Amino acid sequence: MSKILVTGGAGYIGSITTRHLLAQGHQVVVLDDLSRGHRHTTPPELLRIVHLQDTAQVEPHLEGVDAVVHFAAYIAVGESTREPELYFSNNIGGSLSLFAAMARMGVKRLVFSSTAAVYGNPEKVPIPEDAPFGPVSPYGESKTTVERILGQLDQFRGLRSVALRYFNACGAEPENGLGEEHEPETHLIPLLLRAIESGQPVQIFGTDYPTSDGTCVRDYIHVSDLADAHVAALNHLMKGGASAQFNVGTGRGETVMEVLRVVEEVTGKKVPFTIAPRRDGDAAELVADSTKLRRTLGWEPRRSELRQIVEDAWTFFQRGRG
Ligand SMILES: NC(=O)c1ccc[n+]([C@@H]2O[C@H](COP(=O)([O-])OP(=O)(O)OC[C@H]3O[C@@H](n4cnc5c(N)ncnc54)[C@H](O)[C@@H]3O)[C@@H](O)[C@H]2O)c1
């Protein structure tokens, strides 16, 4: 059993990963400022309300900690283009503050929530981990910068880290009452479900991409499988594994219209939608090459069939939201 500090553990992916860590027998402490997360997602005895940039407040929570899983960040690409300083300050500044506290407290293992956004508009799809960085938003830039800093801290601080570059996290664990509760919501599946509920059409951005039906292709990964990847990454670090970067996706792509059709099948309802022009910076196709994660850490997605993802999201949407 290890003691794990989870930053951003009151958010969507962090709260579900916390459940997986507890199920593995780990002791968990959650640090979150609740700026974007929800109190009800975390067992109250585990939650410490701390803003990561307050290094002195972070430090005591690292006492006896074996490894940190670092989710805390702002995550909305569009918002980051309107408020880049906020994203650099929270995502880079917050990470630096955490890393300084870890150095002082002698904690030398970290799993970092990175993103496919570090690749921008990749030349090659499926995208391998050695594709060049090319972020096209302040959000993507903030994650790229933290990955670069982690490279230096590996060398000069002996900090061993695994950066997990998530593709499109989705789905829910309705059995734990946990799922997506972002506000504002920017992710496709909850937006489609909200459109059904409200009757207000959802916008589909671009139908003239070079894809099978003209809409963007993305790699949808169930949040439970994502949580498993964190457990595998932690095991790797606890066994003395070296720093590494891994894509976390299924290697399969689905178009926006394919997702919309599965939502209609699962819910038995029509999704009202309108067609809007392409958005700046949206790549036609983002699909992970996840061979490295499968081969190195033995990870396999178990719950990421699109129908299963949508069924879980729909069950949570109907009865699970706090
Ligand atoms: N959701 C996705 O599809 C996706 C894709 C790629 C990467 N990621 C990354 O995964 C991580 C988690 O994403 P999520 O969807 O769970 O987001 P989320 O907004 O649900 O959770 C983030 C949590 O971090 C907390 N937080 C933010 N800044 C903080 C700070 N300075 N101090 C303390 N707490 C702070 C928020 O209150 C929130 O609870 C993020 O780092 C995000 O960049 C998410």
| Domain termination residue (choose one: 248, 264, 297) | 248
22 and 74 housed in the same domain: yes
In the reported structure, the alpha carbon of residue 8 is separated from the centroid of ligand 1 by a whole-number distance in angstroms of: 6
> Is any atom of ligand 1 closer than 6 Å to the C-beta of 223?
no
State mean pLDDT over 245-270. 98
> Which atom of ligand 1 lies nearest, measured to the CA of 14?
16
**Same domain, yes or no: 121 and 263:** no
Instruction: For residue 33, name the pLDDT band (cuts at 50, 70, 90).
Output: very high
Residues 181 and 298 in one domain: yes
Catalytic site residue 139? yes
Question: What local confidence, expressed as pLDDT, does residue 319 receive?
Answer: 84
Q: So what's the pLDDT on residue 209?
A: 96
Please tell me the pTM assigned to this model. 0.97
CB-count exposure of residue 295 (10 Å: 0-12, 13-18, 19+): exposed
Angle between helices 138-157 and 94-105 (to 10 degrees): 20
What SS3 class is residue 160? strand
At position 272, the amino acid (one-letter code) is P
Whether 36 is in the pocket of ligand 1, judged by its Cβ within 6 Å, is yes
The catalytically annotated residue of 119, 139, 166, 220 is: 139
Instruction: Please determine, for residue 322, whether its predicted confidence score (pLDDT) is greater than 80.
Output: no
Q: Which ligand 1 atom is at minimum distance from the Cα of 143?
A: 43
Instruction: Report CA(288)–ligand 1 centroid distance (Å).
Output: 20
In this predicted structure, what is the pLDDT of residue 224?
Answer: 98
Q: Are residues 158 and 228 in the same domain?
A: yes
Domain stop point among 232, 248, 264: 248
Is residue 126 located within the same domain as residue 62? yes
Domain of residue 271 covers 174-218+251-320
pLDDT tens track for 218-246 = 999 999 999 999 999 999 999 999 999 99
pLDDT tens digits, one per residue of 200-217: 999 999 999 999 999 999
> Is residue 150's pLDDT more than 70?
yes
Look at residue 4 in the predicted model and tell me its pLDDT. 98
269/242 same-domain check = no
Give pLDDT, residue 281: 82
Reported confidence tier of residue 320, pLDDT bands at 50, 70, 90:
low
Q: Which of 5, 52, 71 to mutate to test the pocket of ligand 1 (most atoms within 8 A of CB)?
A: 71
Residue 321 has pLDDT above 70, yes or no: no
**What does pLDDT average to over the chain?**
97
Average pLDDT (180-205) is 95
List pLDDT tens digits, range 36-84.
999 999 999 999 999 999 999 999 999 999 999 999 999 999 999 999 9
Say which CATH number the domain at 75 has: 3.40.50.720
Give 38 or 183, the one with higher predicted confidence. 38
Q: Are residues 137 and 193 in the same domain?
A: no
Do residues 15 and 164 share a domain?
A: yes
pLDDT value at position 17?
Answer: 98
Residue 72 Cα to ligand 1 middle (Å): 5
Residue pair 36/10 in contact (Cβ under 8 Å)? The answer is no
Which residue type does 226 have? L
Phi, psi of 15 (to 5 degrees): -70, -35
> Given a cut of 80, is residue 101 above it in pLDDT?
yes
Looking at the structure, do residues 103 and 203 belong to the same domain, yes or no?
A: no
Q: Decide: 91 in ligand 1 pocket, CB within 6 A.
A: no
Q: Do 263 and 300 sit in the same domain of this protein?
A: yes
CATH number for the domain that contains residue 309: 3.90.25.10
179 CB under 6 A from ligand 1?
no
Same-domain pairing of 27 and 68:
yes
For the chain, the domain total comes to: 2
Atom of ligand 1 nearest to the CA of 15: 16
Residues 273, 130 share a domain: no
